[in-house]
Structure 1
Amino acid sequence: MTLGQSIVKAVERLPLIKRQQGFPIGDYQGAINHMIEASKNGVRRQEVITATRSGTLEMINRLIPVFSGSVPDRRKTLVISPDKDLLGKLRKRIVESNRHLRVGVEAARSLACPRRDDVVLIGVWKLRERNHWPSFKPEEFKTIVIDECDSERSAEYANALTHFNALQEDSEINVISATTKLDTPYENILGFGIDSVVYEQTLRARIEKDELCDYKVSEVLVDNLELGGVTRTDGDYDILSLRSALDKSQLDQKAVSTYMEMKDESAFKSTLVFCVNEAHCRELCGLFQIHGINAQYIPADAQEATRSTILEDFRSGKIPIFCCADVIQEASDHPNIDSIFLARPTLSKTLKDDMITTGLAHHPGKAMCHVVDLVGLTQKNLGPEVNTPKTRPPAPTLEKRAKHQVQFAKDYLKDIYERREYVTKKILGYHEQGLMMNTAASGLLDFDEFVMDIEVVKFIMSTGPFPFILFLNTKGRGHGPKKPHGDWGLYIGDDEFFLVRLRLSQDQVPIFRLFNCELEPKEVGGYREISTLLTTTNIFELLDFIKVMYPVQCQAIEEYNAADGRTATEDQIEYIADKAMVYLAEDSVYEFDKVLFRDIVRDIIAKKPYREAVQFEFTFRYSDTCYYTDKKKSWLLGEARRAYIDHKRKITAPQEETCT
């Protein structure tokens, strides 16, 4: 039996504990006093529901220093959250108000030191990655706080709770769930129920107590929106099937036209649009932007600085529309939201309530939130009573959920590629017919608009006949109408490469330029442009030009890109290892055994196919700061760090643990 199977069996054997009557929140301190009293009476599993994410943050901050453990020797607290922003804000707030507490954060590259830290804040995504649970001694921890219990993370929670013996009925560790959601199915997610609940029972009750502002609903009829044929998975609509149904309707166009009609009369300043997935966010933002409306979303691979800038600009009003598909990660805790567009159908009453609640935080000058329902979610009663287990579909087992998630990821990626491939074929068809501008068919936007979409261009470059590397990945500065910029490199051997640049002319026409370039010597770095080979407005003309005019170089590209079993050469390994040590010195605040670390980097590169080693060396020589270099640098240092830490732990395992 595998570890995952044993965890599942352990969870399935646990008896369910019925929830007791809730206690309404009058203020934070009243709720905390109630939880402390319940803990003294032997209640180990409690839940607190706040009106907003900022309320959740404040509750956790106030609770940690005063919530005593059941055993005096237990003094440490573990906080698990799916929200990177909350982890950073929470650490800052705890440190400012509790100078005596040492707070560590495990998120991205940062590592906590459980032996030293009084409070450890950890991203839920790190629970599966951790291979050093022994450094967390269960007998030292008094409380585990789970922020926004995520139904998709059952295995991760089980892994952590098993280590801390929190799954046992007689466990001495406190487990507290802090959430803005009503009726979270803990039995299905964590394997046990909640003994005591501190919350307002209904959405309407929160509004009447003035914890939330009121809202009004405008229902908008969308032609051809038919959901009867949409398949269902785990009690809700299947994402891919739902996206296909929305494509066949005029929902996106209706969302834009409705916003344009209502924004002045209703004085919309900050509008949140709930979409189905990231692809839907991207396409809807593009549609808004074509009509001169600055709409933004956050791609999954966006850097933290970009993500923070977009959220801050939306919060300050610089961005009037923000599209998202994730309530917890992106949309929460923005009191400036004065209008919500529901462009994502759901069968989940909890999700529906969560989407509405996101816009109900009080804000100066905001009397109420205007909800524009494009998908019929508000035709039924909105949040007047708490869901019960009888109305909720049974949750799948961990094995079924894991299997479904893997298949969903495959299908989702397949869907993205198929949609982009469809777009690419349409564009190529337009070009062959001579329809270069002002052409639309089958829901496609104008040809020039698609070519200006850097995502489409990236797809063309990445799936075309040549292995281009993306050097510059941006849509222009600021958050106004997007001006696509992009640089791609194609190594052709003998230190030469083709450089493709996409820029926008003064007439708003995309211009592609092809350059012949030469890399500078390795010890110098950088490159120089030899000549300009072609300027065109058509990416396909550029690709054909390379094929026809440079057959020898194309043959060289095929040879080094062939999957023939070759691995990195010794020269490539040495060069990349040297660069990695330079990056490490710039990036790290810790002392490393440089000889050992370099050997680990060498081992990693030595296992890479020759074609990947060529791309590594090429991009590192091109620039230390380009898009591809940043990606590969992060990956290489991350892999090397993990291997380095594992190696050091194996060496020092019998000795007393120390913190770096």
Structure 2
Amino acid sequence: MVANCFTPRVLVKYMKYKLSPIQSWYSKRLIHSFALRDYQQEAIDSILEASESGVKRQAIEMATGSGKTVVFSHLIPLLKGKGTKTLVLEHTQELIAQSYDKITRINPDLRVGIEMAESRARLNDDVIVASVQSLATNKRFTKFNPDDFKTIIIDECHHAVAPTYQKILKHFKADTKNTNINVIGFTATLARADKQMLKAVFDRIVFQRSLATMIFNKELASFKASKLYFKRLNLSNVKMKGKDYDPKALYNAVLKAGINEHLLLAYMELEKEYKSTLIFCINVEHCREVCALLQKQGVDARYVISETSNSERKTIVADFKQGKFPVLCNVTVFTEGTDIPNIDSIILARPTKSKPLMIQMIGRGLRLHKEKSHCHVVDLVGIMDENLELKAILEGKQLQMKKAKDGTTSKIESRDQVNYFENDRISKTIECALQIHSKNIVELRSVDGLELFREYMSDVGVGGRYNTLFLIKKITGYGQTEYQLTYNKFIKEDFSTYQELEFIGKSNNVLELLRELAERFPEDARHAASYRDFERPCDYSQVSFIMSHLTEKITESSLKYGFDEEQLRGNVNDAVHAMPLVTGYRFKLALMYSLNCDYSSWKANQILAESIKNYYKIDTYKL
């Protein structure tokens, strides 16, 4: 559905915002000039209404491909404030170019400047599109008078807790809730991997449009998802860097597991049907090797990394968009803000613990294009094993964040992409992959992407001995349901982290898998059965574990309802103690598997609801 940006009905609605004469004239001039989709218009309405009600620091979550840049470009002349200028903060050169293009086309009467590297905005510019890193370097932002600005727009605002952003916001007097400047943040995902407090920057999420909703409404392309399993991949000993894997250690682990053979096999299947494949690699070294591997096999593959010069990057991307070559490899260059609609297949060869990063990678292939009906996503590393739907959050844990990179370096890559790696290793990889491929035993079995949002977390867990888990996953697609049974071991009991030890089997009958489990692992089955006791209450270890995972929810509820936190905690503790042993066993197992799985969320909410009800009863009794 597409609606005119400023229909007479909408103009009447906006009258309550007391537009200046210039804004009113400008809005009327746009009636027949530009179009917005219904949800984009709804986003603008929500932002203006929140602003009118006094909410200055707003967060907007719109899925990749939803047209965030178009929305804030239309929004710029409508927001009011003491100043007249607008600052748009970006963190990559692609996003800066994209924003500059959209803003100037949608607002031809506004003077738009760029502040990045050698480019300098003019003091009389109405809109300044700025690189965060450039602006923060040597306090370059001090050239701008904060009182001249009415609005700061932060694109990809999940980065906004970084020190570079905070310095800029502080200079413009926009770092507190009482600011007079509109701070409007746009992102595809407000969920952060490091759980930092986005609430330090934003006060309210005023609009959301999820990836699943847009796919369902055919505003984005649908996608199919396939996985190639290989048991040799073990990430349990890979060291961490922050909240994700260390790239160098990760590269060594996946290389040892033979990931490049699987990648080549995956592409040999994809190329039968798909024309434009984007591959996400672990680091620069892996990216070069994958590209060289494909090229030696006769595939015209190219790569873009942070060291690729600006001019070369533009040429490569333009050629890929035009279909001049079929495969483009990268590390993280194309995770944000890149518009390449013709991408019809994606290979995920980079393990990550970051769900936002996973969503961003998949989102690269979901833009609508006349020559594709869907995007095929091949997961080589199991990063899609958990629910794809992310809950937008402003709360989080305070963690120090390292300085963000701007991605504007222009160092020219001089090495030949094909000859960078030893031919011997590449040849052996190709030989191994071809042997498997020639036997015609590789098939990319796929499930519908939208089904992953709805069904994938409908899993069943049976706890074994020694912190192990038998997991039965339900996978639904194309009207069929299949169950897969795996044997897993928890890596750390305090975190939802587990490693697959063995793939036991699959069937369309879940009872068959449960019978196989009992026959092959009788000791573990008896261990699980010993907890099927509805008479005995939870044991101490279960209560302690469950309470430690409900701490944040208790605090949130106390603040929300104005309760005494310790009293509510006591009520929750009583409710957990009263649970039967079997229920405590199931709840603990679910929490160990995933804090966000269906059973974990449902049971936690049920306990809190009961505890809140009892709190009111106690309060009434005291009166």
Q: CA deviation at 1:135?
A: 2.0
**CA 1:362–1:238 in 2, change beyond 3 Å: closer, same or farther?**
same
Q: Supply the distance in 1 between the matched residues of 2:195 and 2:234 (Cα, whole angstroms).
A: 33
**Residue deviations 1:460-510, cap 9 Å, x none?**
xxxxxxxxxxxxxxxxxxxxxxxxxxxxxxxxxxxxxxxxxxxxxxxxxxx
| 3-state SS, counterpart of residue 139 of structure 2 | coil
Give, as a single letter, the amino acid of the residue that structure 1 aligns with 2:85: K
Whether 1:335 aligns to 2:341 is yes
Structure 1 match to 2:247:
239
Alignment partner, residue 39 of structure 2: 27
- Who is 1:44 aligned against? 56
Q: 1:198 aligns with which of 207, 218, 226?
A: 207
Structure 2 residue 374 is matched with structure 1 residue 363? no
1:149-168 map, 5 Å: 149=157, 151=159, 154-168=162-176
* 1:38-437 equivalence runs, <5 A: 38-53=50-65, 55-69=67-81, 71=82, 74-113=83-122, 115-149=123-157, 151=159, 154-184=162-192, 188=197, 191-200=200-209, 202-264=210-272, 267-326=273-332, 328=334, 332-381=338-387, 383-386=388-391, 394=397, 396-398=399-401, 401=402
Structure 1 residues 290 and 141 mapped into 2: Cα distance closer, same or farther (>3 Å)?
same
Deviations 1:140-182 (A, max 9, x none): 1011111113539711101101101111221101111112224
Q: Which amino acid aligns with 1:356?
A: I
Change (3 A) 1:134 1:125: closer
Deviations 1:79-113 (A, max 9, x none): 01113123223223323332321111012311112
Query: Which deviates the most, 203-212 or 134-143?
Result: 203-212
Q: Which amino acid aligns with 1:180?
A: A
Q: Residue in 1 aligned with 2:34?
A: none
**3-state DSSP of counterpart to 1:332:** coil
Deviation at 1:353, TM superposition (A): 1.6
Distance in 2, matches of 1:120 and 1:339, equals 36
Query: Displacement, 1:118?
Result: 0.7
Equivalent position amino acid for 2:113 in 1: G
Question: Is the Cα–Cα contact under 8 Å of residues 234 and 395 in structure 1 kept in the other structure?
Answer: no
TM-score by length of 1: 0.54
**Shift of residue 346, structure 1, vs aligned partner:** 0.9
Contact 2:334–2:364 (Cα < 8 Å) also in 1: no
Q: Distance in 1 between matches of 2:242 and 2:279?
A: 24
Q: How many percent of aligned residue pairs carry the same amino acid?
A: 36
- Give the residue type in structure 2 aligned to 1:89: Q
What number of residue pairs does the alignment pair up?
Answer: 383
- Residue identity in the other structure for 2:240: R
Aligned pair in 2 of structure 1 residues 68, 385: CA closer, same or farther (>3 Å)?
same
Residues 314-340 of structure 1: CA distance to partner in whole angstroms, max 9, x if unpaired? 111112111112165677321111111
How far apart, CA to CA, are the structure 1 residues paired with 2:249 and 2:309? 30
* CA drift at 1:442: 11
For 1:196 and 1:397, the matched residues in 2 are separated by: 23
Distance in 1 (alpha carbons) for counterparts of 2:197 and 2:285:
30
Q: Is the Cα contact below 8 Å between 1:50 and 1:178 reproduced in 2? A: yes
Aligned pair in 2 of structure 1 residues 330, 293: CA closer, same or farther (>3 Å)? Answer: farther
Deviations 1:490-536 (A, max 9, x none): xxxxxxxxxxxxxxxxxxxxxxxxxxxxxxxxxxxxxxxxxxxxxxx
Deviations 1:7-41 (A, max 9, x none): xxxxxxxxxxxxxxxxxx94222211221111011
Look up the equivalent residue of 2:389 and give its one-letter code. P
* Alpha-carbon distance between aligned partners in 2 of 1:275 and 1:90, rounded to the nearest angstrom: 27
Pick closer, same or farther for the CA change 1:163–1:328 going to 2, 3 Å: farther
Deviation at 1:53? 5.0
Alpha-carbon deviation of 1:445?
9.4
User: Structure 1 164/274 Cα, relative in aligned 2: closer, same or farther at 3 Å?
Assistant: same
| Cα gap change, 1:373 to 1:445, in 2 (>3 Å) | closer
Classify 1:385/1:104 alpha carbon distance in 2 versus 1 (closer, same or farther; 3 Å). Answer: closer
TM-score by length of 2: 0.57
The CA RMSD measured in Å over matched residues stands at: 3.1
- What CA distance in whole angstroms lies between the structure 1 residues aligned with 2:250 and 2:392? 24
Distance 1:445 1:209 in 2: 42
Return the alpha-carbon distance in structure 2 between the equivalents of residues 395 and 224 of structure 1.
Answer: 36
